[in-house]
Structures are given as C-alpha cells and as structure tokens.
Amino acid sequence: MTAMFKRMLTLSATALLAAGPALAQDQVLNLYSARHYPSDEALYSQFTRSTGIRIQRVDADDAGILARLRAEGAASPADVILLVDAARLWRGEAEGLFQPVKSAALEAAIPAQLRSAPNAEGASAWYGFSTRARVIVYDKSKVARDDVDTYEELGDAKNKGRLCIRSGSHPYNLSLFGSVYEHLGAAKTEAWLKGMVDNMARAPKGGDTDQIRAVAAGECAVAVSNSYYLARLMRADKPEDKAVVEKVGVVFPNQSSWGTHVNIAGGAVAKHAKNQANAVKFLEYLASPAAQEHFANGNNEWPAAKGVKLDNPALQAMSGGSFKSETLPISVVGKNSVTVQQMLDRVGFR
C-alpha cells in the first residue's frame, strides 16, 4: 500500500466522521397526515429535536390521502400515514396500502382493541394513538338526561323533532353506526337509523361544533358530537363559547350496557416506505408518555396508551374523571362501515 493511498484512506475516514452529524440531520420522514390541528406542530418539532429526523409533511383529508397512495403506488414517498378514523384505517389496510409493523414498544403501550388484528407474524398494520368519545349533547332546559343516556334513544319517538347531527356518511358517524351494528345486529340497527331520520329537527349539515351550537341556539335539543369539540368550547375564552357551554349538558351513552363508543386517530407505515426505520421510530414516539400527554392537552383527546395520566380540566369535568368505553376491536367497527352506508342509503339518512 503506497503512502499516497494510505493518506487518501485517512482523509476519507476523517471526512466520513466529520459528515456523521450532518448525515443524521439530513435524515427525513415523509408524513401524510389527516390531522389538521395546530397544536400538533409542537409534537412534530419535539420528535425532530430528539432524533434529528426532519419531517416533511403532506396535509390532506383521510380520503384524499388514501387516493393519493393508490395513485402513487410504489413511487410514493410516504413513510407514515396518520388518519383520524377507524373506517379509514381499516380501508387503508384492506387495500394493502400499509405494511405491518411488529414493535414491542407499540404492543406494550397500545391496547389490542386499539390496533389492527395482528397477522401470522404478530405484526399490526396500524395503531391508534388517541381516542375521542362519541357523546350526546342536550339542551338542559328542554331534555331530561334519562331520555338521551343511550344511543338507542336517539331513534326513539320520544325524541321526535329534537335531533341535530352531521352527515350520516361522515366517518365519525359511520364508525358509531358500525359499532351499534355490532351490538344490535342488522335489523335493529336499520330500524334505529330510520328512527333517527324521523327524529331530525333539520337535515344533516355542518360539523360537530355546529351541532353543539345548534342545541344552544334552540334549533334542536339533542346532538351527537366527538368529545374534543365540546372540550374546545369548554376551554375557550370567548363569551359566546362560554354561553354555549352553560346551556348544554353532556352524556357518555350506554354506561349501563356496552359503554360509550370511542373512535381513534391512528398511524401506519406506508407500504412503500423508503425510510422504514424512521417511520417505526416515529410511531413509537407517538406512543410515548410525552406525546400521549400532548394529545390530551393539545387537542383534548384521550390518550390511547396504557398508564398515561390525564391532566386536562375539560375532559376531567366532562367525564367526571372516567367513563365506561366499549371494548369492541376498532378494526371490526371500521369493517362494518360499508354495510352501514348501504343502510343509510335505504333509510334516507343523508
């Protein structure tokens, strides 16, 4: 070996050592996210600070992300997919858009019912990282709490002309209806959906916050909402929001039977992820206590991971500290959405 060649090897090794930190800083994670919450920026920034992995994000709704993954195929740059509904996560899994992940950290943190059923190797296609309860909001001056303390009563004739609800085809409702279908069976679920159509005070429109405001304004007396929308109003400083909260009550339905339906926001590694190790590291980070506490305090969602302390005054006040949630596997609920949509079409639930 010549002296010149030895010197070249030494220079090359030195250059690689010097480039080490730069290479670490250049690590990336391509994230397709349906979470559009400003508070999540702090979540992503903390991941980058602690790992040196830079996040490149594409924002779209759930359906748009799944459509993009189909169109891009193997050329997709996506590493991690974040979606905000069980039906969408199930759809992505069913279409083969995710790659199963086996992680001891994720399995230890996330309860079995909040992740997809494992394959033969024990790997799951997606994991839930936060939950939101589908609660009933009512006008305290017009409605007795006992008349709306189950989902079934939303379709009871005693609540005729009282109900406000967003589109039945919205994923939040499809997942709720898919849950009820699992509990009641096909015939009773379709009759229940028809009962809700008969009980509507107005045609479905708007989002969950619009339903809560409609109850407070007297347009209707009963509404269905995800819990974090009400929690936002409870934590707001605006007088008009405080006035809304004063007028409405909240029920966590079915506490004496199967428990309140909870949906999830969850994540998966994209089938054609180019940065797989970074993707798994990011999912494990989302299950960590620090990230779980952020979901609770930043966007008023319940942590999905086991043993995480809830420190959110609105969620505490709303639930009294705890509530009975259903234990159905979320993957089953998502799968039922196709059947439920057909029922909605038959009964005229728009």
* H or E stretch at 171: helix 171-184
Q: Does domain 133-261+325-347 have CATH number 3.40.190.10?
A: yes
Radius of gyration of the chain (CA): 23
Say which residues have a Cβ less than 8 Å from residue 343's Cβ, sequence separation at least 6: 177, 186, 189, 190, 193, 349
Rounded Cα distance between 269 and 342, Å, is 30
CB atoms within 10 A of CB 52: 13
In a 3-state reduction of DSSP, which class is residue 148? coil
137: closest CA among 37, 231, 205?
231
Rounded Cα distance between 23 and 83, Å, is 30
* Cα angle: 84, vertex 201, 253; to 5 degrees: 50
- Main-chain dihedrals φ then ψ at residue 168, nearest 5 degrees: -65, -25
* Per-residue exposure over 73-93, b if at least 16 CB sit within 10 Å of its own CB, e if not: eeebebbbbbbbbbbbbbbbb
Amino acid making up residue 12? S
Classify residue 223 as left (phi > 0), alpha (psi -120 to 50) or beta. beta
The per-residue pLDDT for 22 is: 38
Check if the beta carbon of residue 128 is closer than 8 Å to that of residue 114. Answer: yes
* H or E stretch at 5: helix 3-25
pLDDT tens string for the chain (350 positions)? Answer: 444 333 333 333 333 333 334 344 469 999 999 998 888 999 999 999 999 999 999 999 999 999 999 999 999 999 999 999 888 999 999 999 999 999 999 999 999 999 999 999 999 999 999 999 999 999 999 999 999 999 999 999 999 999 999 999 998 999 999 999 999 999 999 999 999 999 999 999 999 999 999 999 999 999 999 999 999 999 999 999 999 999 999 999 999 999 999 999 999 999 999 999 999 999 999 999 999 999 988 889 999 998 887 788 999 999 987 899 999 988 888 889 899 999 999 999 99
CATH of region 26-130+262-312, choose from 3.40.640.10, 3.40.50.2300, 3.30.70.120, 3.40.190.10? 3.40.190.10
CA atoms within 13 A on the CB side of 17: 6
The per-residue pLDDT for 85 is: 87
Rounded Cα distance between 184 and 188, Å, is 6
3-state DSSP helix/strand/coil percent for the chain, to nearest 5? 50, 15, 30
In a 3-state reduction of DSSP, which class is residue 192? helix
Interstrand relation of 262-270 and 98-99 (parallel, antiparallel or unpaired) = antiparallel
According to CATH, where is 3.40.190.10 located in the chain? 26-130+262-312, 133-261+325-347
The per-residue pLDDT for 14 is: 32
Check if the beta carbon of residue 298 is closer than 8 Å to that of residue 37. Answer: yes
Say which residues have a Cβ less than 8 Å from residue 3's Cβ, sequence separation at least 6: none
